[in-house]
Amino acid sequence: MTLKVGIPRALLYYYYLPLWRTFFEALGLEVVISRPTTKTILDAGLQNSGDDVCLPVRLAFGHVLDLKDRVDVLFLPRLVSIARREYICPKFLGFPDMVRHGISGLPPLIDPNLNLYRKDSPYPFFVALGRNFTSNRLAIYLAYRRAMHAQVRYVQLLERGLFPEQALALLYQGVAEGQESGGGGPTVAVIGHPYNIYDPYISMNLLSRLARSGVRVCSADNLPETLIREQAARLPKHLFWSLGQRMIGAAWHYLQSPDVDGIIHVASFACGPDSLTGELISREVRRRGKPFLNLTLDEHSAEAGVVTRLEAFLDMMERRQFLPVRESV
């Protein structure tokens, strides 16, 4: 009987699913991903997590509960650092412990440390991960190589302009899903963490709404990592949060791009790093004068409020395109 490994559709799922999934499948395991976010999943996460954690972590609790009775083991990596001299949010680091002490009746948790703060290669992490399932070091090495190849292919698809679900469909089903496109309409850069902007329930279908309004959407994930880091390096001090650095670097690039007509920044309620990076982005946008919308998502976000603000933002963009620029007074 094939062992089933559960992966929550939350947190860094949109960054690393090909890496995790290919590694497990190469070792002969069956990967089970939690179902897309619904009100039931969100409510379950809210009821089983603390009030002092951010919305993405609370939602991740709901996805763990969705997998709880459907898998043999749960994969919840302890993410400390994914790049040299940088860290991931401490709530991500403590997520396996929060789950272990917050939810009873769980299957065994597999939570190896991923810490690249002083390392360049994630291979030791995969060796530790693979040893949970096999003692064959060659099999672990070959699975690692296949996983890295899949991840590189995934990133290439994102940089070609696909969004994660489209790239995943192409990787695993060989199907190029029709990309919702704004045709000849304006281009808007949506700056936000993948677990916010690509989750249709949490973002209240933000990307689809923009596409239906004739807007072409781009995001940080469509940019090469080297370009993002070059832009983020313009800050007077190195930002040691990897995910915040991605937001800053992408925003800086799109603000300078003449092909991008407006910026939407999406943040999570109770996210400390988002409150800092959002303010930095907001100040730079005001200095450059591009249309800007700052959306903060929480579990109480009302769809009508988001739609109203989005319509106002698009109206503003339309006026900027067709009305002469006013002289400052």
Write the pLDDT tens digit of every residue in 276-303: 888 899 999 888 888 999 998 877 767 7
CATH number at residue 61: 3.40.50
Report the C-alpha gap between 146 and 214 in whole angstroms: 39
Greater model confidence, 177 or 217: 217
Q: Which domain holds residue 233?
A: 183-322
Residue 135 has pLDDT above 60, yes or no: yes
Q: Among residues 239, 232, 27, which one has the least CA distance to residue 141?
A: 27
Q: How confident is the model at residue 324 (pLDDT cuts 50, 70, 90)?
A: very low
Q: What is the mean pLDDT of residues 196-212?
A: 93
Same domain, 120 and 211: no
78 closest CA partner among 65, 63, 96: 96
Residue 177 has a pLDDT of 59
Asked if residue 291 lies in contact with residue 266, where contact means CB atoms within 8 angstroms, the answer is no
Q: Which of the 8 DSSP states describes residue 88?
A: -
Task: Note whether 193 and 256 are same-domain residues.
Answer: yes
12 lies in a domain? yes
Q: Supply the pLDDT for residue 316.
A: 86
Listed in sequence order, the residues at least 6 apart from 328 whose beta carbon sits closer than 8 Å to its beta carbon are: none
- Angstrom CA distances, 235 to 231, 249, 264, stand at 8, 9, 20
Instruction: Report if residue 170 sits inside a domain.
Output: no
234-251 tens-digit pLDDT? 888 888 888 999 999 999
| Bigger pLDDT: 63 vs 319 | 63
| 115 and 8, same domain (yes or no) | yes
Q: Is residue 308 part of a domain?
A: yes
Residues 105 and 220 in one domain: no
- Report yes or no: 207 and 197 within 8 Å, Cβ to Cβ: yes
Over residues 53-80, mean pLDDT: 94
Residue 48 lies in a domain: yes
| Strand partners for 212 | none
Q: Determine, yes or no, domain membership for 16.
A: yes
Residues 155 and 190 in one domain: no
Same domain (yes/no): 110, 210: no
Residue 167 lies in a domain: no
143 and 200 in a common domain: no
Asked if residues 218 and 158 have their Cβ atoms less than 8 Å apart, the reply is no
Answer for the pair 254, 186: CB distance below 8 angstroms, yes or no.
no
Residue 169 lies in a domain: no
In this predicted structure, the answer to whether residue 96 has a pLDDT above a threshold of 90 is: yes
| Residue 309's CATH number | 3.40.50.11900
State the total domains in the chain: 2
Provide the mean pLDDT of the chain: 90
**What phi, psi does 14 have (nearest 5°)?**
-75, -15
In a domain, residue 197? The reply is yes
Lowest mean pLDDT among 98-107, 171-180, 214-223: 171-180
Q: In terms of domains, do 198 and 131 share one? A: no
Q: Which residue has the higher pLDDT, 298 or 48?
A: 48
Are 200 and 154 part of one and the same domain?
Answer: no
Q: Taking 50 as the threshold, does the pLDDT of residue 105 lie above it?
A: yes
pLDDT band at 93 (very low <50, low <70, confident <90, very high): confident
The answer on pLDDT for 178 being more than 70 is: no
My answer on whether 149 and 96 are in the same domain is yes
pLDDT value at residue 64: 97
45 with 133, same domain: the answer is yes
CA distance 134 to 125: 14
Among 91, 96, 93, smallest CA distance to 73 is for 96
User: What letter represents residue 20's amino acid?
Assistant: W
Checking if the pLDDT of 183 tops 80, the result is: no
147 and 214 within one domain: no
Structure tokens at 44: 């379950």
